Amino acid sequence: MDPEATRTARESLDLAFHMSNILDTGLDRHTLSVLIGLCDLGLNPEALAAVVKELWREQTASPSPPPANAPSSAS
């Protein structure tokens, strides 16, 4: 990728991330970059949005499991 294309891609991601923050999507820069890349590959943006919403819903609905190195209470 040439330097100009790299700069343009970075600026585009910065703008998309700024809009994402204004809209309070909760997406971090890396996740947003992956989603944009998937759209660039031809995946349906509405389908991706539905998947992200479902993942957020599942994450907030179920309690997170304890860390793998957490001590067991079954002693």
Q: How far apart are CA 48 and CA 46, in angstroms?
A: 5
**CB-count burial class (<10 Å; 0-12, 13-18, 19+) for 35:** buried
3 state SS of 10 = helix
Instruction: Specify the pTM.
Output: 0.72
Q: Where are the domains of the chain?
A: 3-60
Amino acid of residue 42: G
pLDDT single digits (tens) 14-72? 999 999 999 999 999 999 999 999 999 999 999 999 999 999 999 888 776 666 665 65
